[in-house]
Amino acid sequence: MTPVEVGSLSVLAIVFLVYVGVYIPVALGLVSFVSIWLISGKSILAFNFLRVAVGDGVTEYPFATIPLFTVMGLLVSRAGLGTDIYTVLNRGFHKLTGGVGMATVGANAVFAAVTGSSIASASVFTRIAVPEMRKLNYDKRFAVGVVAGSSVLGMIIPPSAMLIIYSFVSEQSVGDMFLAGIVPGLILTAAYISWIFISGYLRPSYIGKNIDKAFERPLSLSELMDKTVPIVALIMLVLGGIYTGWLTPVEAGASGALFSVIIAVLRRRMTWRGLWETAIETGHITASILFLIAMASLYSRMLGYAGLPNELDAFLQQRNFGFIEVMIIYVLLMLFLGTILDTASIILIVVPLFITLMETMGMNLVWFGIITVIGAEIGLLTPPLGISCFVIKASLNDPEVSLKDVFFGAFPFAMIMLLVLIFLIAFPVLSIGILS
């Protein structure tokens, strides 16, 4: 077999193994190890690649963003910042048809600016927004769909674990990726809110029949301050610190983590035990993500060794594929993989294959990262492996809402994501304009 054949087979083998449930780092590492052995014909080379991947795989300063932003995200969830911002926005939107839905989207967008995870958003807002919408006679599919759809904002609006992971595999700066995620995240938020607003006029039955408008006592100024100042201050510290260059992303994560502990303690939401549990959870997440990234680096080196990225580049060039064709292939590939793999695996498997091609085409790699993350995130909302939808079903605990309802409800939001993705592909300046 030629190296390119071994490389191609190894990609298929990894997709297959991950699909049947082999641990992702194990699948990436073991298949890469065997492939290098087969290509070189020498075991020593395979063992050396493996040793370097494990020994040096986690020794990068920017990797510290993973534990720091994870701990910050867990702490702000515990401190109840998500609930706060939802309460505030709900007062603002409650007069509109679908107002609770809009408030959920808005609150998700703000909460996303202090957490890096869609799962955190999905579980927090399932518990607060869905019961309220159900109480007010909102359609159940709409209620869960809004939460599922807006939970993906957690991954696009910085800080975001997926942007961090992309920055590692593509060797881009974490700070640049974060800044580039802001405008696309806001566009998606605006698109969701507009969709709910327009549906409220054109097809109110989609949102619900005989919707009650809850009487909401207006918040006093001190309540308003109490619910908004901490989260706004945290966003200014973290994103402001990175944007002005005063803090590196790692330092921003550390400051954000400390600030979140202080907020949680001041609000009496934090006990020693709670803090310890948060740290343990952070450790588990950090260890699994960084081990995954170390193994992905082995995979990426194996692909390079097999010459697969160059071969793919040559193959597509030979057929005179232009920008549009390549993008169509890329998006379709991600949508397909999104139905069987989770977001991180898609990024880790697909990016090393395509990045050489993108470079030779003269594409901006920061922009490419935003496209990749959003494209891979659509899979969070589509069956059979829509992870956001599973989390919502699991944290809802309402037998009247089936997993099918969640998927149906999330579908319009997945379509909006796809439209926004096409828009962002057509206008790269929306992602990277902020960097210049």
Chain positions contacting other proteins, by CB under 8 A: 18-26, 29-30, 33, 47, 50-51, 54-55, 58-61, 63-64, 67-68, 71, 117-119, 155, 161, 246-247, 250-251, 253-255, 257-258, 276, 279-280, 282-292, 294, 340-345, 380, 384-385, 387-388, 390-391, 394
> Rounded to the nearest whole angstrom, what is the least distance from the CB of residue 166 to other proteins in the complex?
13
Number of C-beta neighbours around residue 210 at 10 A: 6
Output 167 or 345, the one with its CB closest to other proteins. Answer: 345
Q: What angle do CA 299, 302, 307 make, to 5 degrees?
A: 130
> Rounded to the nearest whole angstrom, what is the least distance from the CB of residue 23 to other proteins in the complex?
5
Output 96 or 279, the one with its CB closest to other proteins. Answer: 279
**Left, alpha or beta for 199 (phi > 0: left; psi -120 to 50: alpha)?**
alpha
> Rounded to the nearest whole angstrom, what is the least distance from the CB of residue 80 to other proteins in the complex?
19
Output 35 or 255, the one with its CB closest to other proteins. Answer: 255
Output 371 or 373, the one with its CB closest to other proteins. Answer: 373
Longest dimension (CA), the chain: 74
Distance CA 186, CA 289 (A): 27
Number of C-beta neighbours around residue 94 at 10 A: 16
Q: Where are the alpha helices (DSSP H) in 41-173?
A: 43-56, 65-78, 81-93, 99-112, 118-135, 140-151, 153-156, 161-170
Output 294 or 421, the one with its CB closest to other proteins. Answer: 294
Token duo for residue 260: 């979140």
> Rounded to the nearest whole angstrom, what is the least distance from the CB of residue 36 to other proteins in the complex?
12
> Rounded to the nearest whole angstrom, what is the least distance from the CB of residue 19 to other proteins in the complex?
6
Output 70 or 90, the one with its CB closest to other proteins. Answer: 70
Distance CA 108, CA 147 (A): 8
Distance CA 7, CA 345 (A): 17
> Rounded to the nearest whole angstrom, what is the least distance from the CB of residue 277 to other proteins in the complex?
10
113 and 69 Cβ atoms separated by less than 8 Å: no
> Rounded to the nearest whole angstrom, what is the least distance from the CB of residue 261 to other proteins in the complex?
8
Output 249 or 309, the one with its CB closest to other proteins. Answer: 249
Contacting residues for 232 by C-beta, under 8 A, at least 6 apart: none
Residue found by looking up tokens 């901490």 in the block:
230
> Rounded to the nearest whole angstrom, what is the least distance from the CB of residue 335 to other proteins in the complex?
16
Closest CA to 289 of 105, 23, 7: 23
Output 54 or 434, the one with its CB closest to other proteins. Answer: 54
